[in-house]
Amino acid sequence: MYVKTFGSALNGVEAITLTIEVDVNNQGKHYYIVGLPDNAVKESLQRVESAIKSLDLYMPRTKLVINLAPADIKKSGTALDLPIAIGTLAATEQIKQPEEIAHYVIMGELSLDGELRPIHGALPMALQAQKEGFAGMIITEENASEAALVEGFPVYGVKHLQEVIDFFSGRQKPQPVTVDIKAAFEEKGDFYDFDFADVKGQENIKRALEVAAAGGHNVILIGPPGAGKTMLAKRIPSILPPLSLKEALETTKIYSVSGKLTNHSGLITRRPFRNPHHSISNAGLVGGGGHPQPGEISLAHNGVLFLDELPEFQRTVLEVMRQPMEERKVTISRAKSTIEFPAGFMLIASMNPCPCGFFNHPEKECSCIQGAVQKYLNKVSGPLLDRIDLHVEVTPVPFQELSKDHITEKSKTIRERVISAREIQKERFHKTDIYCNAQMSHKQLNKVCHLPEEGRKLLKTSMDKLNLSARAYDRILKVSRTIADLDNAENIEIEHLAEAIQYRSLDRETWFGSE
């Protein structure tokens, strides 16, 4: 007997529907899986056979051919165990209503006793199944709440192979899993582990980070050890605007594909904050591998990527970030396929000014040998530094500030100003896919960043004095526009431009110029 079941495979953060064709006939006594299966898929028959026999059912003792279509796509992993098992049982007439099987996408890994284990990528699989008009999806119970985020699409969570057999035999049909997305957003609250109210002094740094958050700009913090760079960076998520539903679904898809959704609870409702160690590899940062997986820059999509001690990262690792920072996506090419992962992150980097950490310190002397400072700073390339919007020098907080008892501004207050600025940008770019000023193209920049004549002269003088590049020119205009939005100003004024220019004070030709 010939039967079709349907499963799914991942291609980046998107899914492709697979047709699992099962044919049982009397022209031999062998089992075959065809359609470019990897070893994990080939081993599926061993798990399927043990699971079926544990239910006192039988595997055919004749020829069994399983075709995974489309046959030119490499199939990997263990998630196809369940549709293969159901197809085999239907083809041997051990399921009473096999015609119902073709209406559902079925996914799950089988254990030898028929228990079902969770899989990766349930959300994109459910989205694709809904798009193609399937009646519903049958998936492991652990993944059900994640797949049920697709509104209006029935998802049935199951624990055991027997439940799926009962489903298609008409004996028992569970209720679809439901997820209240609105309630999930409301429950996230405004509580964060870190708050800017804990930071004493550093008002100019807080202001710079507020500007960065309001416009989605990249920032590098440079200063001696103990000045508070890491402490400040960890508090940035507390002032970022909340995720929209669209952003939340985009982020959840990435974590679903990576298998990093905690306890499979479904929707990610807070902006990610990723802080990889400086020993990370190219593939770990941008993604890749034999079966390409998202890297840290994709896991930081719609959130923050914090690179602490930037010069300690391998230079080749840092350089691969340059294109994703511009295009907000990373492309991984293989011999037979090309995969794209989203990478719209806000980069926060920190570094010491030299190996000992005290170059340019107001009180302590640098103990580095001649040439060591420049060699250390050269670990961060000019093109990468040029792509960072705000360069902020962090100086140590004096004792008088640390010993004060007064309460500083809370993150919640700063966040309200950031949200107001983002609302202005949302209205400005409502007919585009742009969320914030940092994403503006050069064409949009010319349209919304008009300077007064006095501002043009100031910018020209700064460009000549600091020897800034054309990219730095664009960055200054974008930051100026954000500062104007924070002031609720219609046009960029001279004071907005002046503040934006001062955030380029760490450009390589000036601050980095001599020891």
CATH number at 41 reads 3.30.230.10
Q: 28, 35 in Cβ contact below 8 A?
A: no
Q: 50, 43 in Cβ contact below 8 A?
A: no
Q: Which of 400, 427, 454 is the last residue of a domain?
A: 427
Provide mean pLDDT across the span 200-215: 92
Would the pLDDT of 263 be above 70? no
In a domain, 455, yes or no: no
In a shared domain, residues 202 and 280: yes
In a shared domain, residues 225 and 306: yes
Give this prediction's pTM. 0.88
In a shared domain, residues 223 and 159: no
In a domain, 482, yes or no: no
Residues near 405 by beta carbon (within 8 Å), at least 6 away in sequence: none
Alpha-carbon gap, residue 243 to 241, rounded angstroms? 7
- Compute how many other C-beta atoms are within 10 angstroms of the C-beta atom of residue 201: 17
In a shared domain, residues 285 and 423: yes
| Number of compact structural domains in the chain | 2
Provide mean pLDDT across the span 365-369: 84
3-class SS at 246?
A: helix
Count how many residues are written for the chain. 515
Q: What pLDDT does residue 403 have?
A: 65
In a shared domain, residues 56 and 159: yes
In a domain, 512, yes or no: no
Provide mean pLDDT across the span 410-414: 92
Q: What pLDDT does residue 341 have?
A: 92
Containing structural domain, residue 238: 196-427
Instruction: Give the tens place of pLDDT for each residue, 309-352.
Output: 999 999 889 998 988 998 899 988 876 678 889 999 999 999 98
In a shared domain, residues 284 and 421: yes
In a shared domain, residues 221 and 369: yes
Provide mean pLDDT across the span 456-462: 89
Per the prediction, the chain carries an average pLDDT of: 88
The CATH code of the domain that includes 275 is: 3.40.50.300
Instruction: Give the tens place of pLDDT for each residue, 115-166.
Output: 999 999 999 999 999 999 999 999 999 999 999 999 899 999 999 999 999 9
3-class SS at 42?
A: helix
Instruction: Give the tens place of pLDDT for each residue, 225-242.
Output: 888 899 999 999 999 999
In a domain, 481, yes or no: no
In a shared domain, residues 106 and 155: yes
Q: Which of 409, 427, 445 is the last residue of a domain?
A: 427
More confident residue, 29 or 221: 221
Would the pLDDT of 57 be above 90? yes
Provide mean pLDDT across the span 15-33: 91
- Compute how many other C-beta atoms are within 10 angstroms of the C-beta atom of residue 475: 24
Residues near 182 by beta carbon (within 8 Å), at least 6 away in sequence: none
Instruction: Give the tens place of pLDDT for each residue, 282-292.
Output: 889 998 877 78
Q: Give the type of residue at 454.
A: E
Instruction: Give the tens place of pLDDT for each residue, 61-113.
Output: 899 999 999 988 888 889 999 999 999 999 999 998 778 899 999 999 999 99
pLDDT more than 70, % of the chain: 94
In a domain, 445, yes or no: no
Q: Which of 399, 427, 455 is the last residue of a domain?
A: 427
Alpha-carbon gap, residue 475 to 461, rounded angstroms? 16
Tokens of 426: 């949302």
Tokens of 495: 């004071």
In a shared domain, residues 269 and 124: no
Q: 251, 512 in Cβ contact below 8 A?
A: no
In a domain, 69, yes or no: yes
In this structure, of 273-277, 296-300, 367-371, the range with the lowest mean pLDDT score is 367-371
- pLDDT band per the 50, 70, 90 thresholds, residue 510: very low
In a domain, 479, yes or no: no
- pLDDT band per the 50, 70, 90 thresholds, residue 514: very low
- pLDDT band per the 50, 70, 90 thresholds, residue 44: very high
In a shared domain, residues 318 and 372: yes
CA dihedral 434, 427, 418, 269 (to 10 degrees): -60
Q: How many helices (H) and strands (E) does the chain have?
A: 22, 18
Provide mean pLDDT across the span 464-491: 89
